């Protein structure tokens, strides 16, 4: 009987200018769930990447099934029964679920891929672990939560006894999250061990057996859900007490800044995603868009910011028609945009922190004069953003791709907040961000509002919407089905509206 399924023994990993993990030890026993918590840049991803063989520890060792191993790479880890679900799924979208699962480890007959056999094996897995997936569906047509299940199946197909998940719930809807947690629980009853990283304390308390908290690359605490609480965990992570709710005054709405009239927008597959939608956001107020992801939020935001064409209707910003104009023109009206997909739209990974801190305004003074980039202005601006938003980076010329996920997000938020903003669109502004930084970003959004900006907040976190918004619009199937005053909004009621209950 194996005692330690996977573990780390005093592992240290250095990157240029950073000590990412410093003498960290953890261990996972069969059938248990280990949650890793910690601030952005604490070293969580680095640690699990070492367990998966993506990085080699500078000091210390990785243990798999009671044995010290020297992993040669991810394929080595997979051979030893480790599976990892990355935040960016490693799937081939136009291929079917079965094909994706067996890819690279296909059953063969006469040298050819034996698809019927593959399908049979996948179906077996699906039933054994009661993971609800249609094996013949094309991956690109599946919602994110289901794609993640395909990733899990992929690992199980390769006989994974350990499943490592790095922020698996960041992109999931609450329903999908519940489902995932259930799946993980079921897996542990079959002896699979789980290591998972999250910033959501509620999830940790709900399913972890053991909790390890990291700070600055070191283990600062080990606990269990029964011996802990959200406040205690938050404090352990950040090293100070954290305000878990937002303090704000009643809004003082002024004139209309954003007006959307009868807007129709299509999604990538030319299906109508935003359907005859109208809304207004006034100066000095935060309008929160609540809704299950995939109900048109992305298309709405992209249409307003000029990244996606509108099929019909009108968008006005400060009374100027901006329907189907360029992102540049819209931004020039004083619009800040925290994009939903930070890797895709938010940053250019190979560019430095400096360059990313001004990418939305590179063409304007003081960053550009007579067509030339002004390094001094760029550096000093980046310095301000990094200091104010506590972006943890070894240097200003560090490539953004090497920052931790949450620190990339903080950089984007800081950049968008640093200009003159009349209207702010914040899509999932705190996704992947630690609890201390969430507090700061929430306060910053409220501050922008108080300074007179209009704010459109889109979030999959109902708590975030209820905590921050002055008014709440519920989006369902591309339509706004209700607009409520936040003061009298009721969680249950919004939840029902989001699910389409009581919508005619």
Partner 1 sequence: MNKKLFRSCVTPVAAVALGLIIGAILIASQGSSPITAYQAMLVGGLRDSDALLRTFQKATPLIFGGLAVAFAFKAGLFNIGGQGQLLIGAVFAAGVGFGLDGLPMVIHLPLALIAGGLAAAIWGGIAGALKATSGAHEVIVTIMLNFVAGNLTDWLSSSPWKDNSGDRIIARTPPIEPSAEIPTWGALPVGFLLAILVAIMCWFVLERTTFGFQVKSVGFNKDAARYSGIRIGVITASTMAISGMLAGFGGAVESLGVDGRFEAGVNVGLGFEGITIALLARANPIAVIPAGLLVGLMQAGASRMQFKADVAPEIIDVIQALILFFVAAPTILRWILRFQNQTDEDLKLGVGWGSK
Ligand X SMILES: Nc1ncnc2c1ncn2[C@@H]1O[C@H](COP(=O)(O)OP(=O)(O)OP(=O)(O)O)[C@@H](O)[C@H]1O
Three-state DSSP state, 74: helix
| Least Cβ distance, residue 110 to ligand X (angstroms) | 43
Binding mask 6-45 for Mg ion (x = CB under 5 A): ---------------------------------------x
Instruction: State the residue for tokens 């930084």.
Output: 437
Q: Which of 347, 403, 411, 482 binds partner 1 (CB under 8 A)?
A: 347
Side-chain-side CA neighbours of 110 within 13 Å: the count stands at 1
The length of the chain is 504
Residue 187 in tokens: 């897996």
Q: Which of 12, 22, 46, 275 binds ligand X (CB under 6 A)?
A: 46
Are the CB atoms for 159 and 187 separated by under 8 Å?
no
Contacted entry of ligand X, partner 1, Mg ion, none for residue 346, CB cut-off 5 to 8 Å set by kind: partner 1
Contacted entry of ligand X, partner 1, Mg ion, none for residue 188, CB cut-off 5 to 8 Å set by kind: none
Please say which residue, 16 or 111, places its beta carbon nearer to ligand X.
Answer: 16
Tell whether residue 395 is a contact of partner 1 (CB under 8 A): no
Are the CB atoms for 33 and 196 separated by under 8 Å?
yes
Binding mask 372-391 for partner 1 (x = CB under 8 A): xx------------------
Binding mask 307-346 for partner 1 (x = CB under 8 A): x------------------xxx--x-----x-x----xxx
Are the CB atoms for 237 and 434 separated by under 8 Å?
yes
Contacted entry of Mg ion, ligand X, partner 1, none for residue 360, CB cut-off 5 to 8 Å set by kind: partner 1
Please say which residue, 322 or 473, places its beta carbon nearer to partner 1.
Answer: 322
Name the strands in the sheet holding 33-38, side by side, starting at the edge strand that comes first in the sequence.
82-85, 162-166, 193-197, 33-38, 210-215, 218-223
Q: Which of 42, 263, 378, 438 binds ligand X (CB under 6 A)?
A: 42
Residue 428 in tokens: 């999932």
3-state helix, strand, coil in the chain (%, to 5): 35, 25, 40
| Least Cβ distance, residue 62 to partner 1 (angstroms) | 18
Q: Which of 40, 305, 310, 418 binds ligand X (CB under 6 A)?
A: 40
Contacted entry of ligand X, partner 1, Mg ion, none for residue 407, CB cut-off 5 to 8 Å set by kind: ligand X
What residue number has its CB nearest to ligand X?
406
Sign of the CA dihedral with 354 first, then 357, 362, and 368 last:
negative
Tell whether residue 348 is a contact of partner 1 (CB under 8 A): yes
Q: Which of 202, 212, 217 is nearest to 236 (CA)?
A: 212
Tell whether residue 336 is a contact of Mg ion (CB under 5 A): no
| Least Cβ distance, residue 50 to ligand X (angstroms) | 10
Residue 315 in tokens: 């968008």
> Alpha carbon 195 to chain centroid distance?
18
Contacted entry of ligand X, partner 1, Mg ion, none for residue 339, CB cut-off 5 to 8 Å set by kind: partner 1
**Per CB under 6 A, which of residues 321..350 are in contact with ligand X?**
none
**Per CB under 8 A, which of residues 349..368 are in contact with partner 1?**
349-351, 355, 359-360, 362-363, 368
In 144-255, which ranges are E strands? 162-166, 193-197, 210-215, 218-223
The span from the CA of 292 to the CA of 373, in Å, is: 42
Residue 434 in tokens: 């630690």
Q: Which of 147, 173, 223, 404 binds ligand X (CB under 6 A)?
A: 404
Measure Cα distances from 394 to 103, 108, 166, 391, 433 in Å. 38, 49, 23, 10, 19
- Tell how strand 256-266 and strand 423-427 pair up: unpaired
**Per CB under 8 A, which of residues 181..210 are in contact with partner 1?**
none
DSSP character string of 249-271: PPP---SEEEEEEEEEEE-TTS-
Contacted entry of partner 1, ligand X, Mg ion, none for residue 18, CB cut-off 5 to 8 Å set by kind: ligand X
Task: By CB under 5 A, name the binding residues for Mg ion.
Answer: 45, 404-405
Task: By CB under 8 A, name the binding residues for partner 1.
Answer: 305, 307, 326-328, 331, 337, 339, 344-351, 355, 359-360, 362-363, 368, 371-373, 399, 401
């Amino acid at each position: 009987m194996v005692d330690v399924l996977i573990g780390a023994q005093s592992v240290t990993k250095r990157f240029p200018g950073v000590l990412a993990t410093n003498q960290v030890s953890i261990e996972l026993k069969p059938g248990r769930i280990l949650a890793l918590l910690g601030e952005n840049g604490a070293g969580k991803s680095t640690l699990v990447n070492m367990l998966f063989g993506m990085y080699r520890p500078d000091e210390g060792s990785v243990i798999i099934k009671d044995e010290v191993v020297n992993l040669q790479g991810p394929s080595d880890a997979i051979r030893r029964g480790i599976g990892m679900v990355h935040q960016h799924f490693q799937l081939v979208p136009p291929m079917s679920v079965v094909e994706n699962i067996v890819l690279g480890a296909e059953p063969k007959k006469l040298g050819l891929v034996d698809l019927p056999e593959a399908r049979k094996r996948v179906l077996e897995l699906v039933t054994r672990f009661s993971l609800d997936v249609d094996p013949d569906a094309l991956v690109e047509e599946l919602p994110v939560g289901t794609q993640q299940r395909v990733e899990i199946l992929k690992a199980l197909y390769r006989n994974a006894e350990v499943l490592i998940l790095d922020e698996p719930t960041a992109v999931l809807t609450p329903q999908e999250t519940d489902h995932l947690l259930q799946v993980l629980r079921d897996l542990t009853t079959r002896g699979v061990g789980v290591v998972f990283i999250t910033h959501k304390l509620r999830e940790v308390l709900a399913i972890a057996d053991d909790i390890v908290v990291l700070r600055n690359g070191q283990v600062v605490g080990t606990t269990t859900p029964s011996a802990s609480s959200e406040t205690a965990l938050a404090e352990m992570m950040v090293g100070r007490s954290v305000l878990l709710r937002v303090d704000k005054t009643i809004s003082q709405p002024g004139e209309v800044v954003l007006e959307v009239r009868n807007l129709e927008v299509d999604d990538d597959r030319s299906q109508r995603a935003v359907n005859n939608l109208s809304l207004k956001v006034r100066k000095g107020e935060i309008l929160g868009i609540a809704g299950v992801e995939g109900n048109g939020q992305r298309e709405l935001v992209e249409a307003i910011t000029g990244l996606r064409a509108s099929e019909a209707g009108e968008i006005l910003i400060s009374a100027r028609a901006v329907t189907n104009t360029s992102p540049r023109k819209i931004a020039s009206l004083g619009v800040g945009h925290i994009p939903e997909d930070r890797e895709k739209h938010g940053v250019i990974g190979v560019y430095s922190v400096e360059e990313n801190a001004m990418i939305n305004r590179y063409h304007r003074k003081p960053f550009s004069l007579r067509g030339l980039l002004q390094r001094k202005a760029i550096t000093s601006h980046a310095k301000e953003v990094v200091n104010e938003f506590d972006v943890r980076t070894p240097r200003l010329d560090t490539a953004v791709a090497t920052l931790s996920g949450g620190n990339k997000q903080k950089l984007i938020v800081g950049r968008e907040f640093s200009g003159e903003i009349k209207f702010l669109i914040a899509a999932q502004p705190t996704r992947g961000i630690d609890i201390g930084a969430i507090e700061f970003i929430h306060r910053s959004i409220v501050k922008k509002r108080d300074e007179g900006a209009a704010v459109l907040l889109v979030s999959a976190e109902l708590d975030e919407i209820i905590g921050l918004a002055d008014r709440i619009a519920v989006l369902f199937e591309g339509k706004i089905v209700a607009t409520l005053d936040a003061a009298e909004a009721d969680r249950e009621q919004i939840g029902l509206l989001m699910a389409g209950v009581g919508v005619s």
